[in-house]
Chains A and B, each alone.
Chain A
């Protein structure tokens, strides 16, 4: 799908529509939109070959602001619509824009099956841990104790971890970023480069209903100590190289270790390997606070895609056969009346 034909390179402006953007002033969605529009010219695909498909929610207005083909569908069903789009036209570059409620609550089933099938597309899950468009109810990713109109005394149910859900569903690419991060375009590029379903969780600040809920790790001040940006083949270092992630061999769990004089090897710091699925499981489950927030490409190990398998089987079974409708309807147990 990603065969590039040399085209005149577009600019971010070419990916902007004339539509007025209708998110709340200060919403994290603006930063994500900018990051996507900035990334698109780098990907070598034309706007007309690109489709943005969304469900329902604040994030799902996204397609209206992208100068591409776009489909704003119904709540939770974007993955299913995207599956039909991709199977009917495998040459299209398909992006799914969704939120925590859309992808994990009403649409959890579709998200799971799209990942399991490995449809070649990018899924950008804007996680703000709240229902924004319906005015602030707690969501499936809200932390225990979240006070909201529907949980005035605090929520009591445990949240889902989107990246753990994705891995559990069989995802072959899992990454994390956040709205205002300068690394977000790199994460998006990596997602696009992955052939197959690429799952990207983007922490997004809902300034009206869940303001600064990610501030503990996303705030620029002290970020180096709270963010672990993962890079394939590089040691898992953070806090300006003073700390790292190592393996506790007694408990087979991850631990934070101090690194003295840049000697991460003797501190036992792990080298990130995006193809290590077991490690990815541990990274997505690292409890923040005790650990930094794992960001960037956590897992990337492609496998044949669903759409290519469908196309291949359809082609193989049609090979050498001429579709003859008259013959088809004349099949079976027949008789002739003279």
Chain B
């Protein structure tokens, strides 16, 4: 794989503008390869040393009818010369590969922003499908933006003609032509992309050559247009400088890969093998896909017949002495709920990853939301407490997964790790951590009869019961979902025993609070007029909004909570040091309610449930209002 050393000195032309950050959105039909274009442009941004955040936004349909409004797939990237926290509010540049892509995306474009459209696709049929009565490229309706359009389809066909591809195959190279143009626009090196194409199409060199030709043609189009080639439309060019970054090795990472690697890392630190039981569901499947390739790391993956079997098999594996892990999205987690209760009752370690998506029911499978917090914290029959952790960004999932494994194995409990569709799919630059800097937390299986006799539900000082592998002589015992007697684990329904066991289960999970870091203020001061409290993937927009507000001199701080349950012991006191607390969430106010319940504070909600992440200005406005 390409490893490029970032060069800090800019060898770009001095005469092109050097903006602080640029937001580009590539939008096209689902079949146009926009996610691929975006992914490779992201790589190129990384190699150019920019900080960045991305937002892939694609339809739930695999092959939506061509040219339709609901079949539009988009990829947004915000790249900059300083710290980037979000994929950006409004694009500066919109690449629209057809009328539907223009229609569904242009309203987000900044006033004065640049539209690049493939006029070859603006034919009568596609215009009708996008419900345009007249061609928007010609009727002046796009007047508040800069508009350039040319026939990308035809230019691509011309470029790949020598390779003898069929029409359909030739047109597939359009996305590489577009990428080539984008690389020229932002003064980027083509070489890593060319190498990537050669690797990708290693088995079909003709396709590799055609795609490379399209890439080069797109790039050349920009160049020749600049020197005033007649007939070519001039395109503005920009260079975004490298962002200052800590020295070290970096890579791009999305949340799904970070979860897979973090779980492997956690299991290594714990000294246990991993068993992953999963069932395909968007957007959680990619964790299963990633782990299925990690065989040499002691990972067994099992694609079960359903969500219930996925978690039940993981529980079985935990019982047998490996760490059981399962992953899903809201509807799948709902199906797993009874089994989560079994894991709580049998006090077995288990990690459950929920890549949240828009709900309820099937909801918005490919869109992001944070609406499974109640489900995670409260959503089971009986008094069934378990720890909940939420990751704030793709890279953060790695550390959160390790933390989930630590808590699960040290406290003999299922742990829910919340990510979401945005985190799972979005990519960010990630400084590869030094694994030797992580402190191991080895598990110890009980392998002999301890003094005083073996008690399957005896406790250590953390209230955790012993983990015994079947196969161990002398420690035969039975467990199950039916209420267990204190210490012995025998069947026992007596009132006093149920009270005692309920108290123990609650006490054990509550006690975890003493073994997690104290809550910090990630930006601002420990007290003041306003705290914006977030959890999960709202971290980026909140952080940026608070940074901007503080730059304006406003008294506002950002508190980001990773440990949703139990919460850090100092959180209540910390929140009381602020006059006001607002809680932005992509749900109708779930964490706000938990905070109110736990601390009797007047936390105010800021809610967005549109399947789209917060925009920075939405939070800035809420800060303004709260401080007014």
Minimum CB–CB distance for A254 against chain B, Å:
33
**Considering the chains assembled together, what is the distance between the CA atoms of A318 and B294 in angstroms?**
9
Among A79, A88, A91, A317, the residue within 8 A (CB) of B317 is A88
B312 contacts A80, CB within 8 Å?
yes
> Chain B, 450-486, contact with A by CB distance < 8 Å: what is the 0/1 string?
0000000000000000000111111111111110000
Residues of A within 8 A of B310 (CB): 80
The number of residue pairs between A and B whose CB atoms lie closer than 8 Å in the complex comes to 223
A49 contacts B471, CB within 8 Å?
yes
Determine whether A46 belongs to the interface, using a CB cutoff of 8 Å to chain B: yes
| Tier of interface size on chain B | 35 or more
Chain A residue, CB-CB nearest to B479: A71
Determine whether B383 belongs to the interface, using a CB cutoff of 8 Å to chain A: no
Among B8, B46, B319, B432, the residue within 8 A (CB) of A329 is B432
> Chain A, 105-117, contact with B by CB distance < 8 Å: what is the 0/1 string?
0000110110000
Chain B residue, CB-CB nearest to A18: B490
Chain B residue, CB-CB nearest to A81: B316
Among B1, B275, B294, B476, the residue within 8 A (CB) of A88 is B275
Residues of B within 8 A of A333 (CB): 1-3, 43, 46-47, 192, 251-252
Determine whether A334 belongs to the interface, using a CB cutoff of 8 Å to chain B: yes
A48 contacts B470, CB within 8 Å?
yes
Determine whether A6 belongs to the interface, using a CB cutoff of 8 Å to chain B: no
Chain A residue, CB-CB nearest to B323: A88
Determine whether A276 belongs to the interface, using a CB cutoff of 8 Å to chain B: no
Chain A residue, CB-CB nearest to B196: A333
Residues of A within 8 A of B308 (CB): 77, 80, 110
Determine whether A221 belongs to the interface, using a CB cutoff of 8 Å to chain B: no
Residues of A within 8 A of B320 (CB): 51, 84-86, 88-89, 92
Determine whether A336 belongs to the interface, using a CB cutoff of 8 Å to chain B: yes
A77 contacts B473, CB within 8 Å?
no
A side interface size, CB within 8 A: 57
Among A48, A72, A91, the residue within 8 A (CB) of B479 is A72
**Considering the chains assembled together, what is the distance between the CA atoms of A74 and B265 in angstroms?**
31
Residues of B within 8 A of A81 (CB): 312-313, 315-316, 319
Residues of A within 8 A of B317 (CB): 84-85, 87-88
Chain B residue, CB-CB nearest to A334: B251
**In the complex where A69-B478, A84-B314, A328-B261 touch, is A337 in contact with B248 (Cβ < 8 A)?**
yes
**In the complex where A81-B313, A334-B249, A335-B250 touch, is A48 in contact with B261 (Cβ < 8 A)?**
no
Q: Which positions 43-69 of chain A face chain B at CB distance < 8 Å? A: 46-49, 51, 53, 63-64, 67-69
**In the complex where A323-B297, A336-B250 touch, is A77 in contact with B312 (Cβ < 8 A)?**
yes
**Considering the chains assembled together, what is the distance between the CA atoms of A323 and B297 in angstroms?**
5
B246 contacts A69, CB within 8 Å?
no
**In the complex where A80-B308, A87-B317, A332-B252 touch, is A323 in contact with B6 (Cβ < 8 A)?**
no
Surface stretch bound by A, among B89-97, B100-108, B118-126, B298-306 = B298-306
B302 contacts A48, CB within 8 Å?
no
Residues of B within 8 A of A332 (CB): 1, 251-253
**In the complex where A73-B312, A325-B435 touch, is A63 in contact with B470 (Cβ < 8 A)?**
no
Determine whether A70 belongs to the interface, using a CB cutoff of 8 Å to chain B: yes
**In the complex where A48-B471, A314-B300, A331-B1 touch, is A83 in contact with B316 (Cβ < 8 A)?**
yes
Determine whether A260 belongs to the interface, using a CB cutoff of 8 Å to chain B: no
Is chain B's interface secondary structure helix, strand, loop, or mixed overall?
A: mixed
A334 contacts B322, CB within 8 Å?
no
Minimum CB–CB distance for A245 against chain B, Å:
36
A92 contacts B324, CB within 8 Å?
no
B321 contacts A89, CB within 8 Å?
yes
B296 contacts A318, CB within 8 Å?
yes
Determine whether A338 belongs to the interface, using a CB cutoff of 8 Å to chain B: yes
Determine whether B264 belongs to the interface, using a CB cutoff of 8 Å to chain A: yes
Determine whether A313 belongs to the interface, using a CB cutoff of 8 Å to chain B: yes
**In the complex where A109-B305, A328-B297 touch, is A70 in contact with B479 (Cβ < 8 A)?**
yes
**In the complex where A70-B479, A72-B479, A110-B305 touch, is A329 in contact with B265 (Cβ < 8 A)?**
yes
Determine whether A8 belongs to the interface, using a CB cutoff of 8 Å to chain B: no
Determine whether B168 belongs to the interface, using a CB cutoff of 8 Å to chain A: no
Determine whether A208 belongs to the interface, using a CB cutoff of 8 Å to chain B: no
Minimum CB–CB distance for A141 against chain B, Å:
22
A74 contacts B339, CB within 8 Å?
yes
Chain B residue, CB-CB nearest to A67: B476
Determine whether B277 belongs to the interface, using a CB cutoff of 8 Å to chain A: yes
Residues of A within 8 A of B471 (CB): 48-49, 69, 89, 91-92
Residues of B within 8 A of A84 (CB): 275, 277, 302, 312-320, 324
B309 contacts A110, CB within 8 Å?
yes
**Considering the chains assembled together, what is the distance between the CA atoms of A69 and B480 in angstroms?**
11
Residues of B within 8 A of A79 (CB): 309
Determine whether B342 belongs to the interface, using a CB cutoff of 8 Å to chain A: yes
Chain A residue, CB-CB nearest to B469: A89
Determine whether B60 belongs to the interface, using a CB cutoff of 8 Å to chain A: no
Chain A residue, CB-CB nearest to B4: A335
Q: Which positions 520-566 of chain B face chain A at CB distance < 8 Å? A: none
Determine whether B491 belongs to the interface, using a CB cutoff of 8 Å to chain A: yes
Interface centre among B304, B314, B319 (most CB of A within 10 A): B319
Minimum CB–CB distance for B494 against chain A, Å:
14
**Considering the chains assembled together, what is the distance between the CA atoms of A338 and B7 in angstroms?**
9
> Chain A, 312-323, contact with B by CB distance < 8 Å: what is the 0/1 string?
011001100111
B6 contacts A335, CB within 8 Å?
yes
Minimum CB–CB distance for A315 against chain B, Å:
9
A89 contacts B470, CB within 8 Å?
yes
B295 contacts A330, CB within 8 Å?
no
Q: Which positions 1-51 of chain B face chain A at CB distance < 8 Å? A: 1-6, 8, 43, 46-47, 49
B1 contacts A336, CB within 8 Å?
no
A325 contacts B265, CB within 8 Å?
yes
**Considering the chains assembled together, what is the distance between the CA atoms of A82 and B66 in angstroms?**
46
Q: Which positions 422-446 of chain B face chain A at CB distance < 8 Å? A: 432-436
**Considering the chains assembled together, what is the distance between the CA atoms of A89 and B316 in angstroms?**
10
Residues of B within 8 A of A337 (CB): 6, 49, 245-248, 250
A330 contacts B43, CB within 8 Å?
no
Residues of B within 8 A of A85 (CB): 316-317, 319-320, 470
Determine whether A261 belongs to the interface, using a CB cutoff of 8 Å to chain B: no
> Chain B, 242-260, contact with A by CB distance < 8 Å: what is the 0/1 string?
0001111111110000000
Among A74, A88, A336, the residue within 8 A (CB) of B300 is A88
A330 contacts B313, CB within 8 Å?
no
A74 contacts B481, CB within 8 Å?
yes
**Considering the chains assembled together, what is the distance between the CA atoms of A232 and B469 in angstroms?**
39
Interface centre among A48, A74, A332, A337 (most CB of B within 10 A): A337
Chain B residue, CB-CB nearest to A311: B300
Residues of B within 8 A of A46 (CB): 473
Residues of A within 8 A of B192 (CB): 333
The 10 closest A-B pairs by CB, nearest first: A84-B316, A72-B480, A84-B313, A80-B312, A70-B478, A80-B309, A88-B320, A69-B470, A88-B317, A81-B316
Additional 12 contacts, C-beta under 8 A, given A73-B315, A79-B309, A334-B249: A48-B473, A49-B470, A72-B480, A73-B312, A74-B342, A88-B322, A89-B320, A92-B320, A329-B398, A332-B252, A336-B247, A337-B49
- Name 22 interchain pairs, CB-CB below 8 A, sorted by A: A46-B473, A51-B470, A63-B480, A69-B477, A72-B478, A74-B342, A74-B481, A80-B316, A84-B324, A85-B319, A88-B273, A88-B321, A89-B322, A113-B304, A113-B305, A314-B300, A325-B264, A325-B297, A325-B435, A333-B192, A337-B247, A338-B5
Residue ranges of A at the interface with B (Cβ–Cβ < 8 Å) = 17, 19, 46-49, 51, 53, 63-64, 67-74, 77, 79-89, 91-92, 109-110, 112-113, 310, 313-314, 317-318, 321-323, 325-326, 328-338
